[in-house]
């Protein structure tokens, strides 16, 4: 989960879906809904993961699901996360800097910010799998 379910949570969704295959159902959501970030879609495709058909969702859409893990990938979502009625869910938080928050005009530099964020999220997801599955 992140603020707008457009970039960081979508990247994590893509990696976790690939890494965990049939071991888990993966959902991503936000406190708000911004739609998919085209740079996130592009840099994920560079790493062989297609998230272009993902949808941007609100956490309210998933309140009836009994989660095992609730992962927040930004401080704002962690601080404002609504109560999610999953009795035994382990909450994990790791803040990733929002690459869309930087106002960079140079396309190569902007893409590099997204790639760096993507790589940090990929490493986090690999570590998550190793520790929990």
Q: What are residue 50's phi and psi, to 5 degrees? A: -100, 110
Cα–Cα dist 105/92, whole Å: 34
Catalytic residue positions, numbered: 2, 74, 81
Residues near 105 by beta carbon (within 8 Å), at least 6 away in sequence: none
- 69 class by beta-carbon count within 10 Å (0-12 exposed, 13-18 middle, 19+ buried): middle
**For residues 100 and 9, what is the distance between their CA atoms, to the nearest angstrom?**
13
């Amino acid at each position: 989960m992140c603020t707008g379910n457009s970039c960081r949570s979508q990247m994590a969704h893509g990696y976790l879906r690939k890494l965990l295959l049939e071991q888990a159902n993966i959902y991503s959501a936000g406190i708000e809904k911004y739609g998919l970030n085209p740079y996130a879609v592009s840099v994920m495709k560079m790493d062989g993961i297609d998230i272009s058909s993902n949808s941007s969702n609100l956490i309210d859409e998933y309140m009836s699901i009994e989660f095992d893990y609730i992962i927040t990938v930004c401080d704002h979502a962690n601080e404002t996360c609504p109560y999610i009625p999953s009795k035994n869910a382990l909450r994990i938080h790791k803040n990733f800097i929002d690459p869309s928050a930087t106002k960079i005009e140079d396309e190569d530099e902007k893409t590099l910010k997204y790639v760096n964020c993507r790589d940090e999220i990929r490493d986090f997801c690999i570590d998550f799998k190793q520790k929990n599955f």
